[in-house]
Copies of this chain bind each other. A is one copy, B any other.
Amino acid sequence: MSEGAVGGRRQRTDKQRNRTHILEVAEEFFAEQGITGSMDAIAKRAGVGPGTLYRHFPTREALLAALLQARDEELEARRVAIQREVTDSRAALAQWLQALNEWVTAFDGLPEPLRAALSEGGTSPLAITCQGFVTTTEDFLGAAQRDGAAQPWVRGRDLFLSTLATAWARGAVMADESSPDALVSLMRTGWETPARKTAPGSAEGLS
């Protein structure tokens, strides 16, 4: 899976070195400036030509997908941990959505390409990753619904889209730090059944 050709000569070391270095630089760059910064600027900062950048990552989306891969694994690990440790399905769903929310706010502007990947429905790396997380969300949601902890008419994809949308809105934050939390609460009050005792916005079920 990591080898290109089947029998030929082994991969050149400079190629692997460049790839790794570009990823390091891009991670830093996206973290600083958001994911809309200039591709050529990334190439320049990495000390390679634009051609090299584009040969490794033909699109901005491909670069993003490669960057997210490490975080994907982290999120998968978190999923496993939640499924193992959290027995209450309501809290489990809440924690999973919290994890998703953190994943999707890793870089400024990340929700946009994720939405695009989803809507094109294609087989891009980003789209496949998202589909996987939608499925996971459906699993957690299904369990919560069976326990009567989540509204029966909600669907996993709706929760995933809502998470994206909430993260997107976070970019606004009109001189008001509390709006992101408020939107998360609004969403949570939306999906869950009113049986809970504590007040919305409390940290119940979250780390």
Contacts and interface: CB of A to CB of B under 8 A. Distances in A.
Given A165-B183, A190-B189, A153 B121 contact: no
A105 interface: no
Contact of A201 (B118, B153, B186, B188): B153
A169 B111 CA distance: 10
Task: Name which of A157, A183, A187, A189 has the most chain B CB atoms within 10 A of its CB.
Answer: A189
Contacts of A185: 153, 190
A155 interface: yes
Contacts of A162: 169, 183, 186
Contact of A174 (B157, B169, B186): B157
Interface string A105-128: 000000000011011010000000
B175 A121 contact: yes
Interface size class of A (residues with CB under 8 A): 35 or more
A36 to B, nearest CB: 12
A201 to B, nearest CB: 6
A159 B188 CA distance: 14
A194 B195 CA distance: 11
Interface in A118-168: 118-119, 121, 151, 153-155, 157-159, 161-162, 164-166, 168
A172 interface: yes
Contacts of A189: 151, 189-191
A-B residue pairs, 10 tightest by C-beta: A190-B190, A165-B165, A186-B190, A165-B169, A119-B172, A158-B182, A189-B190, A194-B194, A115-B172, A118-B174
17 contacts: A153-B199, A153-B200, A154-B182, A157-B179, A158-B186, A159-B186, A161-B169, A161-B172, A162-B169, A164-B172, A165-B183, A168-B168, A185-B190, A186-B191, A188-B190, A189-B190, A194-B194
Interface of A: 115-116, 118-119, 121, 151, 153-155, 157-159, 161-162, 164-166, 168-169, 171-176, 179, 182-183, 185-191, 194, 199-201
